[in-house]
Structure 1
């Protein structure tokens, strides 16, 4: 209908391609008349690029993931890519998900969870799929891209703050014990607490990243008399723990202090006013998207470790100096 070649039509609908103004006008007029839109599926067959990025995640019970999902999807879409969401749920073997994403011929994968070892991400790499491990464990000799934070250092930040506030008998209430982020935050907290002369009188772990799991795990902490402050490895867990302490008749922060992790929106609610460690979620996600898009263009790109600093957000759940 436009009276031009197929390649001219293709160039018209390809961003940045060279096509004359007259040819573009003819093609666009014919397309409008026919109601034509380029087929992304047909284009992927021709280019061997699907523009699909697998987004592998779990922890859907935690409201923090809604912000993570929103940022990932919007940033990928801005760059012309589409996310293919994969819910890990209770499954932790990578084999099933590697095969699933290969069937969809994804251009890359973002493993967006801190609960898995680096070996999970390298399974995609071994299958020839460009992969980024977002919120992944920092390892000096990692051969896969990792974007996140230094969880060991963040755990030490909590112990240091407890020491500054004059606490001496403290507790650690982590997330799921198998999570690499929990292990690292616990290691950093316990070492710094020892160095500062703090007594860690109770160490326990929540079954998952939920309010109820935090409330249930706090019962173990409450068995130990005289706990002055509790560092929780997640804000939602911490909120459950705070309410368990209140139900036991303890006032916050007068009789017991609490510190969380992540700085989700609820942490600022008056009911909690939670002092917490803010993870720079936006910076981490923007960097991850930049890396995965870059790897689609250059799959042999050398692995990078990008760690972002965290900050303490002080509210009212710890006693003042």
Structure 2
């Protein structure tokens, strides 16, 4: 039979409440009592039941990690970092896939069934009403990797996507490209619109137009670039608003017999692991994943500890990663 709290109390010669306090972070217990309880627990092979303790503390330590980008390999990297960071903070991630969910209220009901202590929305395409619904229900919520000027009063952690678009245009112009275009992700995504805004404003007369892939996916990037090639002569270089779309575009260009970067230049955004593979070598704009994840976890911890704290917006800088899909600087 499983070792119980009472078994440990009997072996240590203390009360059940003393055992409970010993295994409750921040609870008051003397060093002598703690030593006796820990020794008894080790002898009996006792491990605290975190689910049972949640009934006492009112905290499950579950954090809903919500996204709708599970098919994008970049987000697998993000989820890996999030799960590690949450676990290191003593929290437990609950992955929630909203790929086919359009109703914020239904999603909220699902999270409530698990009594999550907070929610991290890791998406650039979920609309602001999702974070609004979570916050209105009293759930601490952080929106990571997304940004919208119409977003609710919510903690936000992202890069400055307008600045990223500006950097992309400056990068292409500096390499002598006279006709440059934007191949973005879904048109409705706030990040897509902001990246296009920054790119178009800095590109000026060199801007030849924008096209939008229906999803952040390899096949979507390849199909969209094939369509652009069928339309006839276009841009000398394309800024793709996501690495996986850029890699799909590279595939389409190579299938068409075009040399990259000799005939067409490609610039991505994110710096996902795959972008650095030798057979891809994508020049891209790096999004600081580790820093965004760390900031998001810190903010959700702060909100759980203090429900009255004011939300923050943290915009982190991005940087160019030089590889092999753009011509060199003159």
CA distance in 1, matches of 2:207, 2:41: 73
Q: Compared with structure 1, are the counterparts of its residues 66 and 199 closer, same or farther at alpha carbon in structure 2 (3 Å cutoff)?
A: closer
Does the CA contact (< 8 Å) of 1:278 and 1:311 recur in 2? yes
Matched with 1:176 is 186
Aligned positions, number: 318
Matched with 2:296 is 288
What's the offset of the Cα at 1:314? 1.3
What's the offset of the Cα at 1:59? 1.2
Give the ranges of 4+ consecutive aligned residues of structure 1 lying more than 6 Å apart after TM superposition: none
Matched with 1:248 is 256
Matched with 2:117 is 107
CA distance in 1, matches of 2:92, 2:234: 52
* Secondary structure of 2:164 counterpart: helix
Q: Report matched runs for 1:264-283 at 5 Å.
A: 264-283=272-291
Q: Does 1:158 align with 2:165?
A: no
CA distance in 2, matches of 1:82, 1:220: 44
Q: Does 1:10 align with 2:20?
A: yes
Alignment equivalent of 2:220, drawn from 213, 217, 229: 213
CA distance in 2, matches of 1:146, 1:78: 22
Q: Does 1:190 align with 2:200?
A: yes
* Secondary structure of 2:124 counterpart: coil
* Secondary structure of 1:125 counterpart: helix
* Deviation readout 1:153-210 (Å, 9 max, x if unpaired): 211111111111111112211111121111111122122212xx2131x421112111
Alignment equivalent of 1:136, drawn from 142, 146, 151: 146
CA distance in 2, matches of 1:273, 1:70: 23
What's the offset of the Cα at 1:65? 1.1
CA distance in 1, matches of 2:32, 2:285: 58
Q: Compared with structure 1, are the counterparts of its residues 140 and 94 closer, same or farther at alpha carbon in structure 2 (3 Å cutoff)?
A: closer
Matched with 1:224 is 232
CA distance in 2, matches of 1:306, 1:29: 45
* Secondary structure of 1:129 counterpart: coil
Alignment equivalent of 2:137, drawn from 127, 137, 155: 127
Q: Compared with structure 1, are the counterparts of its residues 43 and 213 closer, same or farther at alpha carbon in structure 2 (3 Å cutoff)?
A: same
Q: Report matched runs for 1:293-304 at 5 Å.
A: 293-304=301-312
Q: Which runs of 5+ in 1 are unaligned?
A: none
* Deviation readout 1:24-64 (Å, 9 max, x if unpaired): 34323433444332221221111111111110012111111
Q: Compared with structure 1, are the counterparts of its residues 176 and 226 closer, same or farther at alpha carbon in structure 2 (3 Å cutoff)?
A: closer
Does the CA contact (< 8 Å) of 2:200 and 2:207 recur in 1? no
